[in-house]
Amino acid sequence: MPSAATLLRDVYGFDAFRPGQEEIVHTVASGCNTLAIMPTGGGKSLCFQLPALLRDGVTVVISPLIALMRDQVRGLRAAGVEAGALTSGNTEEETAEVWQALEAGRLKLLYMAPERLASGATRGMLRRIGVSLIAVDEAHCVSQWGHDFRPDYLAIGELRRALGVPLAAFTATADAETQAEIVDKLFDGQPPQTFLHGFDRPNIHLAFSAKDAPRQQIMGFAAARKGQSGIVYCGTRAKTESLAQALSQAGHNACAYHGGMEPQARRRVEHRFNTEDGLIVVATVAFGMGVDKPDIRWVAHADLPKSIEAYYQEIGRAGRDGAPAETLTLFGPDDIRLRRSQIDEGLAPPARRMADHGRLNALLGLAEALTCRRVTLLGYFGETAEPCGNCDLCETPPETFDGTEAVQKALSAILRTEERFGAGHLIDILMGNATDKVRARGHDNLPTFGVGRDMDKRGWQGVFRQMLGHDLVRPDPERHGALVMTEAARPILRAETPIHLRREVATRTPRPAARALVSEEDAPLLSALKAKRRALAEAAGVPAYIVFNDRTLIEMAETRPANLDAMARVGGVGATKLERYGTDFLEVINGEAEQLHPKRRKLAGRAAGELYDQLIEAQARLSRGPEGIDKPLSCSASLLARVASQRPRDSDALARLIGEKYAERFGPAFLDVLRMAD
């Protein structure tokens, strides 16, 4: 059986594993129960697909969404791997094809939704087909308090016991509580081999911006990235539709997606997003786990996500191919009030509500950070990092000031008005604006009336937003959102702890221009390669990234491979894809492609390919014998390919491989070539 490294090269087209992958692959392949927590886009799928190829029998993959399963099956088949899915979305022909492959013993990976596990017939089928491994994708769905809870995931542990096979569980983000639930529900509380790998996605640019004409902010961000695939997340269904319409009217290829749409309409959007270049989907979080498109170049949040985990998962849908990607998250006091009230008014027990406030606080801390956002984000996941140089705060450090006195004034206004008012009324008091509402309540007679005249309205709005962000004040749902002070504010009010705040300036949309994927010199070639990819994908009826992802095309444009051997060394070009598409892309790069014998094509990019060429040269010198007077003689391409691949060590082994007649004429020369290669 080929080694993991050989399969990585031949099937996936990569010379090396990503950090952490190799150890997980070997652990899963050896039959150990495994839990792997890896960053979104960190190569989780390979960590169960490759062991499936290394093990006998069938690997069953439990995956939560049909779209996700279809994409992975398409990608595996394009790479030459026998895979199939049994889903409610299958046609009769597709299901029959999967069954035929199972009965013939060809299928290596069988994808299924967790809902199928409830069927006794399914369990009987799984026993019969020789399942040797269960892989669980998006394993955090087993957590009953998680945002993606799927009740059917609770049956997976029982399936593992019934089949008596190892289980490998994968997820992108799981806090300690969720990890404990995964171990309890999937592994009966017996700790599996656990891998926790770095959460950093260094290719993703991080940026936040306070809301200031938010629609224009999103429109400007999208305009600078026109023609690139992107996602805009919104807090409401209505906003997805209105913003998608605005983007379409501005000339973008955009559509809306939310849970209120008919299933057929949602599937249509999913299909368009996977197959069309440059589509923008404006969506609620319903557009989530099923998104596995590797070349999403940007993600924007028109509203604040509900937690730091949700933020991490949602921005993680960008740049899965490793090429540069960008994000922008807008937030404002209304977002914070909404998220707080959703937690407070939910049905979760008090301990869960407290934990949810903590997760929101972590996100607000990231939004209001004054130094490198990546340091703050990774710190939440327990990792240390140096300033990244790839976030808005590293590129343009904010102007800050000692906000202790301003916060004390604001807190004083809150307390003197008995915590019964929102920021707008409190700002009027601080600025000395004697509005009808202020006078009617006698608040123009308070000691705090007018003490904040040294700051304009924008400045005070920034102070209150940052106070909300630092969890110094919270909206009280029982008082229509009136601000109340938290315990965290008391040390500041008593002048025991200082606080620094960002000085509010006119809002600018971060990064007005999109980052170039390649140099100006290589850009025309990259465009031509994308056009060829699109044509091939349309002809095959598959998403463009199934042919090659952006990162692979970028490497082609930058390295400009001259032949199939060089093309095979491009990341993401495995043996099957080289055979299928190599010539087409070489023609785009060089104007023409070399013509190789099919046997030689199969050796492209391998050491055996170079040996084959040297054997051809040696054979040509001796085709008429050492004196050039004998009857012409030559080995077939198939024989030469066998010699190059098997590398016989002595004349007897060579003669057994190619026959006495050929060994007599070419044996010494062939063995010299083989010895020189060692």
* pLDDT at residue 430 in the model: 95
- Residue 476's Cβ-count burial label (10 Å; 0-12, 13-18, 19+) is middle
Using the predicted structure, report yes or no on whether residue 292 has a pLDDT greater than 80.
no
Q: What is the mean pLDDT of residues 167-182?
A: 86
More confident residue, 147 or 551: 551
Out of 137-146, 228-237, 251-260, 288-297, pick the least confident.
288-297
How does pLDDT run across 583-629, given as a tens digit for each residue?
999 999 988 766 777 778 777 777 788 888 888 888 888 888 887 77
- Residue 343's Cβ-count burial label (10 Å; 0-12, 13-18, 19+) is buried
Q: What is the mean pLDDT of residues 314-343?
A: 90
* pLDDT at residue 510 in the model: 47
Place of tokens 């539709």: 241
How does pLDDT run across 21-46, given as a tens digit for each residue?
999 999 999 999 999 998 777 788 99
How does pLDDT run across 48-59, given as a tens digit for each residue?
999 999 999 999
More confident residue, 42 or 17: 17
* Residue 506's pLDDT band (cuts 50, 70, 90): low
More confident residue, 609 or 281: 281
* pLDDT at residue 515 in the model: 64
What ranges make up the beta strands (E) of 240-380?
Answer: 254-257, 280-283, 298-301, 325-331
Out of 114-123, 184-193, 652-661, pick the least confident.
114-123
* pLDDT at residue 146 in the model: 65
* pLDDT at residue 55 in the model: 94
The chain-wide mean pLDDT, for the chain, equals 88
* pLDDT at residue 602 in the model: 78
Q: What is the pTM of this model?
A: 0.75
Per this entry, what is the length of the chain? 678
Q: Hey, how many other C-beta atoms are within 10 angstroms of the C-beta on 664?
A: 12
DSSP letters, 102-171, are: HHTT---EEEE-GGGGG-HHHHHHHHHTTEEEEEESSGGGG-TTSTT--GGGGGHHHHHHHHT--EEEEE
* Residue 214's pLDDT band (cuts 50, 70, 90): very high
Out of 177-191, 307-321, 455-469, 591-605, pick the least confident.
591-605
Q: Which of 343, 26, 356, 398 is nearest to 207 (CA)?
A: 398
- Show the domains of the chain with their CATH numbers: 4-196 (3.40.50.300), 204-332+359-395 (3.40.50.300), 400-502 (1.10.10.10), 523-595 (1.10.150.80), 607-677 (1.10.150)
* pLDDT at residue 291 in the model: 65
* pLDDT at residue 345 in the model: 81
Using the predicted structure, report yes or no on whether residue 514 has a pLDDT greater than 70.
no
How does pLDDT run across 616-672, given as a tens digit for each residue?
888 888 888 887 778 888 888 888 888 888 888 888 888 888 888 888 888 888 898
* pLDDT at residue 630 in the model: 82
Q: What is the mean pLDDT of residues 558-579?
A: 90
Percent over 70 (pLDDT), the chain? 96
SS (H, E, C) 440-492: HCCHHHCCCCCCCCCCCHHHHHHHHHHHHHCCCEEEEHHHCCEEEECHHHHHH
